[in-house]
Structure 1
Amino acid sequence: MGKVVLVTGVARQLGGRLVRRIQREPDVDRVIAVDALPPEHHLGGAEFVRADIRRPTIGKVLAEHQVDTVIHMDVTGTPLGKRGSRASVKETNVIGTMQLLGACQKAPAVKRLVVKSSTSVYGSAPRDPALFTETTPPKSLPSGGFAKDAVEVEGYVRGFARRRPDVAVCVLRFANILGPCADSPLAEYFSLPVLPTVLGYDPRLQFVHEDDVIDVLLIAAAEPRRGTLNSGTFNIAGDGVLLLSQTARRLGRPTVPVLLPAVTWVGSALRATGITDFSPEQIRLLTHGRVVRTTQMRETLGFHPKYTTAQTFEDFARSRGPGLLPPDVLARTVDRLAALLPVAARESEERQPHGRRQGHSVR
């Protein structure tokens, strides 16, 4: 008998892809796909069970099918298909995880748990370190939104691991997931015709390709290979970083710098019109950025992403089509403006009276 794998959050594209892919693993016998809503995509030969993980019925599903491996994908920052609300998403993230872990604790057959988390647990603050490791405490804990959900979820997972030390628990903290099928607030932001940015800031960003997300989830759910260990907490991201200004150039989309105090108002306006969920946590990310170290991902988990951060973004950009301006034209324009600014500043200074240029008032 092979493994019986239960996957939550299968109504979303990423969960559906994982279900279809994991069925091809030679050591997997059955896949139980769970979600509160029926998926619009096919799930291959998996058995779909319509169940809300916020309800105790999830325990019956685990017991009935003798599940030994659980992959918890239903931790997300956006409602499915624009339906629902922030409150319902938080309930699924937090209450749903509590119910699922409670059911796993009572299910003796469960031997492996994989949880999809996020690097947003580190927050984004002006005094952040250049690189976050898995053990780096955040300078400022997330105060709301999906980032706070992820922090709470991980807290419950740590409690479960203490109560069931016989279960191999793997938490994967993903950087911003992008790709042709990406469905996230950041993907919506990059799809805007003009990108609002915070004046005076050009944050460093990391991305992970959705194909690599599937591959690392398979590794985490499988028996560890020799010399690797797939239990613990791991940062997952593609090599390298991109500045926000570089992403705008590659998209061919102009930016509109906004003073930091006004960014919150812009975000509220975008949310009110339903264009994108420009949340406070996303504003902080687009102000201060976030970069994580992935040494443990490579050396301990044994995973090497196929896509770098730049390649991930290029694939995403191709799927979104051309922007308002050709990327090469936009890049040349930005470079010319950047070159002109020091010249304009120097000419302005030379036109001032000598005393004012030296910082003294002219009487």
Structure 2
Amino acid sequence: MQKALITNKARIESIDILRGLVMVIMALDHVRDYFHVSDDPLNLATTTPFLFFTRWITHFCAPIFVFLSGTSIYLQSLRKTKRVLQSFLIKRGLWLIFVEVVFISFAWTYNPSYNLIIFQVIWAIGISMVLLGLLIRLPFNFILIIGLAIVFGHNLLDIPESTPGFKAGFWWDLLHHGFFAFYPITQNHVLLILYPFLPWTGLMMLGYCTGLFFSPKYSVQQRRKILNRIGIGLILLFIAVRFINVYGNPEAWSTQKNALFTILSFINVHKYPPSLLYMCMTIGPAFLLLSLFERIQNPFTRTVRIYGRVAFFYYVIHLYLIHLISAVFFIAKGHSFQEGIHVGGGLPFYFLAANDGYSLFIVYVIWMSAVIALFPLCKWYDNYKTNHREKWWLAYL
């Protein structure tokens, strides 16, 4: 018998605040991609602590974004039947994959020929939604077990991947191994895999299961206590397993030239795909922040909450804006549009010549300027969605 559905549609503001915060931070990484020419910012042989931090802090964005997508799906399940929710998840997941291919790939490249199709975080969320939609009618505990098995067990796949001469192949790259894995579609068109989906799907499943704590079964006080305990537990698990240096991350940490760089080595964990320790390091603090934001309301939280309420809309337009600014800077230096497409700063970061990079100070100025410039548009769209709940298509944007 179908359980009674909850009709209260009040949003959980702590979720919107945290989602908004990571969306704002995420833009920093994308501005750095387009405006700062450097070696890998996580390469301890060449980086600086400030450059390392600029990249490392953005590690929290994708996993929290995916995790909270799962949490939001659970909250939808409180007011939708499983049949309706299943249909919505499959359709929205396929829509997100389409958006990744058509709109996001173009936002990264500004190449109307679509020579490069990129599978990134929106693709990972889309396929994870489809898979969760297929499983959504299963018992809650079954989804929880699958999610835990994927998150805690997928690094076992590192063992065959680390063997000499290992070649992943398309399906293995799509599932787990791929990072900057290129596959030809036609003679002039290439698919670039950045986000293999398996670990992200497991993380979304655990986010879905965490949504239980945001249901009316738990008071705010109970929820905060649970979130704090899980958050601290995940951070301690990260420290303990990382210290052992045996499992949970493809690369081991090592002693560096000084204590600070040794710490940087310790927290430098694998994102593509997200390792168990990467997820513990990022989702642990996320639990603590969710608890913290339950009781903090100030101008800052009210501002970032707007970005969180329109996260997908913000994600799409911020890429177009940042790349547009990059193209303007590139052309202003005397380069042509065709140079931007064919030279670039390395796929997929077009419109950045090898010697045209800017300082991190400029990167931070452009980042904050872009985020502030987008706020009025995000606020308008949030008001539009709030006042037009009857428009079904808004649920897909």
Tell me if both proteins adopt one fold, taking TM over 0.5 as the criterion: no
Structure 1-normalised TM-score?
0.28
Q: Which has the higher helix share?
A: 2
| More contact order relative to length (CA 8 Å, sep ≥ 6) | 2
Q: Which has the higher strand share?
A: 1
